[in-house]
């Protein structure tokens, strides 16, 4: 049977008062009514709820939902040496915004960034918790570089920092580590650089499975080389990157894949039988038993109730693929 | 000479009494009529404030809106409203869900425009959430094509623009914060905004913010409006050099206040920003306003920022002898 996983983020609030504790907590922190420790405790309550929801939906490899991340860029980059955090910038083609990292000098890793968050999540999850990190080339591309004046030089130093973080996570027990490089859907010519940075990260991955995930578009043009990148699994957005479906059918893959086929950016619900059929059609070209099905990207772009429904659809598709297979 | 006219982008923070009333109303503990009364009170107060500090072109402050897209969608048939989705930080908004063919029930914002305009002799902007942004910020379960959904919104919003003009709006602003979302869709945006503004006699404005302007720069002169309203402070006035090389053939409303910062910009800093803008734009082409709507700031912060903006503008006018 094909496996199931998620990509990373998860809606951190819902529409019921119980689901809004974090929003209220941050507002109270801003007013000085609670301290950082109290907010951290609220974040952890939400992480447990997010783990529970993934578990109830039958997802096999889960994430902590990136509940404590301000955004995909500043949460990591902001804790590295020589990086400041600037004003808001649009995050790809979404209606979400990130605080732009500004690189003022040589970038380096100072101390674990995600380790506490990952350790807490894993200790509260029956399922393996995947550690998810934004990739060095995407970080380099979305930052404002005032020092290197070279995307490659910046990306390679960021890769060294990401590799340190991966090492810390793997030593703590992470069995799957995912590097997100959505920039490849916009700049496929960056694949060689992504591969070079992944080589550095792979050297520190220990026995964990290293995953390269791309989303927010298609990677059809570079698919064979992308699959050959130095990662154990490759994740693909097959919704916004619908063009990748046909490339995948044509080229196939000997490497296990994560097929992002449930639309994580639109509420419209998939008809599970139709999606399952398309997956089965790929059965001759890829190793479905070693692969995973997932949403097309992080679920935070959906309201919480819709995210839950999408997870259930994902589970149903996986079951239907498994039964027929 | 009418130099450096001051204006605002649209939203202002809601006073505490209105925020509380909205919460009560959403729980069903306050009637629509009672809420409307408080929304009118807050709107009248903001009109009075803008007059008092001497802003030239006013806005109604959007005291009756939750979110700019859902407010319009709630008044359009064929939509539902989703649960909360995060935008950034601790800011969440509800998104429209298109579930059927879009149809206008009737004028959407005209009543509020009339109410605000009746409280002042100065011009009040008519405010429309643009068709591209309405499409981009909606979930689409019906059209299955971004272009079809966008153009469907455009036709309805043209009717709204005409109704605002008929009600006396001398300025109609189309808000397109999603403008820079997908560069390959800029021709669609130009077409859709063109449908909205077609045949209008009012001065037309397009507001956008928080995008990579360098990539969309080539489209600025193609946008079918008389004035561009741009966020400039948050992005560090980076665009000025580009405007120097490639002149803008429209009016520009130049954001001199960062709406996402608690810091009240001192008058001297705002003067400096205006002077920088004046090295590129003529004083009649240049309008002065905040980067974006001020609703995310506290009432006190927003008012202090606006006061400094107007004072700085006056000081620049005086220094140049344009009073």
In this prediction the ipTM stands at 0.93
Give A27-89 as a DSSP string.
HHHHTTSS-HHHHHHHHHHHHHHHHHHHHHTT-SBB--TTTT-S-TTHHHHTTSEEEEEEEEE
Going from the C-alpha of B313 to that of each of A275, B173, B227, B240, B258, the distances in angstroms are 59, 22, 19, 19, 16
Q: What is the domain range of residue A187?
A: 3-324
Each residue's pLDDT, cut to its tens digit, for chain A (325 residues) gives 899 999 999 999 998 999 999 999 999 999 999 999 999 999 999 999 999 999 999 999 999 999 999 999 999 999 999 999 988 888 999 989 999 999 999 999 999 999 999 999 999 999 999 999 999 999 999 999 999 999 999 999 999 999 999 999 999 999 999 999 999 999 999 999 999 999 999 999 999 999 999 999 999 999 999 999 999 999 999 999 889 999 999 999 999 999 999 999 999 999 999 999 999 999 889 999 999 999 999 999 999 999 999 999 999 999 999 854 4
Chain B contact for A120, CB < 8 A?
no
Pick from B82, B178, B234: CB nearest A95: B178
CATH number for the domain spanning A160: value is: 3.20.20.210
Q: What total number of domains does chain A contain?
A: 1
**B239 near B211, Cβ under 8 Å?**
no
Domain residue ranges in chain B: 5-64+109-129+146-320
Pick from B83, B85, B210: CB nearest A90: B210
Cα–Cα nearest to A119, from A174, A163, A177:
A174
Please report residues of B whose CB lies closer than 8 A to that of A266: 139-141
- Is the torsion defined by CA of B268, B273, B277, B279 positive or negative? positive
- Residues near A33 by Cβ (< 8 Å), separated by ≥ 6? none
CA A242 to chain centre: 19
Structure tokens at B169: 């709006």
CATH of B5-64+109-129+146-320, one of 3.30.1380.10, 2.40.10.10, 3.20.20.210, 3.90.1150.10: 3.20.20.210
Please report residues of A whose CB lies closer than 8 A to that of B79: none
For residue B203, what are the β-bridge partners? B171
Gap between the terminal Cα atoms of chain A = 7
- Residues B300, B174, B187, CA angle at the centre, nearest 5°? 135
Pick from A30, A71, A302: CB nearest B85: A302
- Residue A226 Cα, gap to closest chain B Cα (Å): 24
Structure tokens at B209: 């913010």
């Amino acid at each position: 049977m094909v496996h199931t996983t998620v990509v990373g983020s998860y809606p951190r609030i819902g529409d019921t008062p119980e689901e809004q504790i974090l929003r209220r907590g941050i507002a109270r922190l801003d007013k000085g009514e609670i301290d950082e420790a109290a907010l951290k405790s609220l974040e952890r309550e939400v992480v447990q709820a997010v783990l529970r929801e993934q578990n109830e939906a039958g997802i096999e490899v889960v994430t902590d939902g990136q509940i404590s991340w301000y955004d995909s860029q500043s949460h990591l980059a902001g804790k590295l040496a020589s990086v400041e955090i600037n004003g808001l910038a649009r995050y790809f083609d979404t209606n979400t915004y990130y605080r732009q990292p500004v690189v003022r000098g040589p970038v380096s890793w100072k101390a674990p960034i995600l380790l506490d968050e990952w350790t807490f999540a894993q200790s509260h999850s029956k399922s393996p918790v995947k550690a998810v990190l934004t990739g060095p080339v995407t970080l380099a591309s979305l930052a404002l570089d005032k020092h290197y004046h070279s995307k490659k030089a910046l990306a390679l130093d960021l890769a060294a920092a990401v590799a340190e973080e991966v090492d810390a996570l793997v030593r703590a027990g992470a069995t799957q580590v995912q590097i997100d490089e959505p920039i490849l859907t916009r700049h496929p010519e960056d694949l060689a650089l992504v591969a070079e940075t992944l080589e550095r990260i792979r050297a520190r991955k220990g026995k964990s499975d290293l995953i390269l995930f791309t989303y927010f578009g298609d990677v059809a043009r570079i698919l064979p080389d992308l699959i050959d990148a130095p990662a154990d699994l490759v994740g693909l957005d097959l919704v916004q990157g619908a063009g990748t479906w046909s490339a995948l059918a044509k080229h196939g893959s000997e490497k296990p894949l994560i097929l992002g086929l449930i639309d994580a950016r639109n509420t419209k619900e998939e008809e599970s039988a139709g999606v399952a059929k398309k997956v089965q059609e790929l059965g001759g070209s890829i190793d479905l038993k070693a692969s995973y099905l997932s949403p097309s990207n992080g679920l935070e772009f959906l309201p919480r109730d819709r995210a839950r429904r999408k997870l259930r659809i994902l589970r149903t598709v996986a079951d239907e693929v498994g039964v027929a297979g | 000479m009418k130099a450096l006219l001051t204006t605002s982008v649209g939203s202002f923070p809601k006073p505490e009494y209105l925020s509380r009333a909205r919460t009560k109303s959403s729980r069903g503990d306050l009637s629509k009529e009672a809420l409307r009364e408080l929304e009118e009170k807050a709107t009248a107060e903001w009109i009075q404030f803008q007059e008092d500090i001497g802003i030239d072109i006013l806005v109604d402050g959007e005291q009756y809106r939750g979110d700019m897209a859902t407010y319009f969608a709630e008044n359009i048939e064929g939509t539902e409203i989703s649960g909360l989705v995060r935008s950034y930080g601790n800011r969440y908004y509800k998104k429209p869900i298109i579930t059927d063919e879009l149809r206008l029930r009737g004028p959407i914002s005209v009543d509020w425009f009339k109410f605000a305009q009746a409280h002042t002799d100065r011009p009040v902007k008519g405010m429309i959430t643009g068709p591209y942004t309405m499409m981009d910020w909606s979930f689409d379960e019906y059209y299955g094509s971004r272009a079809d959904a966008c153009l469907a919104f455009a036709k309805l919003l043209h009717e709204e623009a005409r109704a605002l003009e008929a009600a006396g709006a001398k300025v109609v602003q189309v808000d397109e914060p999603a403008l820079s979302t997908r560069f390959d869709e800029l021709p669609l945006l130009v077409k859709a905004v063109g449908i909205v503004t077609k045949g209008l006699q009012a001065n037309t404005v397009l507001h956008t913010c928080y995008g990579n302007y360098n990539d969309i720069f080539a489209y600025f002169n193609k946008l079918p409006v008389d004035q561009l309203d741009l966020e400039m402070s948050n992005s560090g006035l980076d665009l000025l050099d580009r405007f120097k090389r490639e002149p803008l053939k429209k009016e520009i409303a130049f954001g001199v206040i960062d709406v996402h910062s608690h810091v009240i910009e001192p008058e001297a800093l705002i003067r400096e920003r205006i002077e920088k803008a004046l090295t590129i734009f003529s004083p009649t082409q240049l309008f002065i306003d905040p980067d974006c709507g001020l609703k995310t700031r506290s009432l006190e912060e927003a008012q202090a920022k606006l006061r400094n903006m107007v004072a700085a503008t006056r000081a620049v006018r005086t220094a140049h002898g344009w009073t």
